Amino acid sequence: MAGIGPEGWQVLSDTITNTNWFACFGIWALACQHVTTSNSVNSLIELLTNNVAFHSEVSAWALGELGEEPETVVPVLLNVYQSSAGDSLRAAAGDALGRFGAKAQSAIPALLKELQDTNVVMRWHATNALRSIDPEAAAKAGIK
């Protein structure tokens, strides 16, 4: 549907407002095609913050993949990243922050802090995001 253009995009955008499993397919298809419609970013933020099983992680990924509206999306992703959410959601938010590159400078302090986490998986995600956002800050932190 994403490949047929605006008519298909609207159908997929309509599916992402659902909390059923089909929403994940709509999210994935739109993000892979780097397509946003008038309300898709807001819908993805809502799914991300409502912590609906699996929808949150795929919404975080999609927001990073799309890279739209960094002034709105980056603070939301940072909030999720710093939350007490599960590691898979926090990791997805960290990865998404990294995809925003230099537009996610506000995440640097949280990522530097995460480098001290006892969870090696969370350190790995923080390292990768930090490299993408600010290679100099990563180098100063000892990341090659």
Q: Where do the structural domains in the chain lie, given as residue ranges?
A: 1-68, 74-144
Q: What is the pLDDT of residues 74-115, one digit of tens each?
A: 999 999 999 888 888 999 999 999 999 999 999 999 999 999
**Spatial distance between the Cα atoms of 87 and 106, rounded to a whole number of angstroms:** 21
144: burial class by Cβ within 10 Å (0-12, 13-18, 19+)?
exposed
* Region of poorest pLDDT, from 16-20, 67-71, 135-139, 140-144: 16-20
**What pLDDT score was predicted for residue 17?**
67
Size of the chain in residues: 144
CATH of 74-144, one of 1.10.3470, 3.40.50, 1.25.10, 2.60.200: 1.25.10
**Spatial distance between the Cα atoms of 87 and 33, rounded to a whole number of angstroms:** 27
Scored b (16 or more CB within 10 A) or e, 57-70 reads bbbbbbbbbbbeeb
CB 67 within 8 A of CB 99: yes
**What pLDDT score was predicted for residue 13?**
65
**Spatial distance between the Cα atoms of 106 and 134, rounded to a whole number of angstroms:** 11
**Spatial distance between the Cα atoms of 61 and 48, rounded to a whole number of angstroms:** 10
7, pLDDT greater than 90? no
1, pLDDT greater than 60? no
DSSP three-state, residue 27: helix
Residue 124 binned pLDDT confidence (cut-offs 50, 70, 90): very high
CB 33 within 8 A of CB 3: yes
Q: What is the pLDDT of residues 24-72, one digit of tens each?
A: 777 877 777 787 776 788 888 988 888 766 788 999 999 999 999 999 9
- The answer to whether the predicted template modeling score (pTM) of the entire model surpasses 0.75 is yes
**What pLDDT score was predicted for residue 20?**
67
